[in-house]
Amino acid sequence: HEAKAAGQAAREAEPLNQGLSPKVIQVYTDIGKWLNHYKSGKLPKAFKVIPSLTNWEEVLSLTNPLNWSPAAMYEAVNIFASNLNPRMAQRFYNLVLLPAIRENIAKYK
């Protein structure tokens, strides 16, 4: 029983992105850094495919959405709203958009 509890605790302590390859982690981390400064223009194809991934939340978290520029957030909302089903789009709004809006309001209040 103790071994089972210890194993469960070890699994919970593992990083969220354990199933992703280092290359994927690097690409999406770099995209996140790029989105911090984004103003206009084309978005990377790797970013546009995120809504079609089964683990889109995990991949999206690698880009650190709270640090995106407002222009990047606007483009992301357009992409995710049009490519996710309503339930998953709602999840995107709650996990990404709402915290970003709250942070923006607190910053510029």
Predicted local confidence at residue 89, as pLDDT:
93
Residue 6 has pLDDT above 70, yes or no: no
Predicted local confidence at residue 20, as pLDDT:
80
Q: What pLDDT, in 10s, does the model give residues 11-39?
A: 333 345 567 889 999 999 999 999 999 99
Q: What pLDDT, in 10s, does the model give residues 87-100?
A: 999 999 999 999 99
Average pLDDT, the chain: 84
DSSP structure class, residue 94: I
Q: What pLDDT, in 10s, does the model give residues 71-81?
A: 999 999 999 99
Predicted local confidence at residue 17, as pLDDT:
53
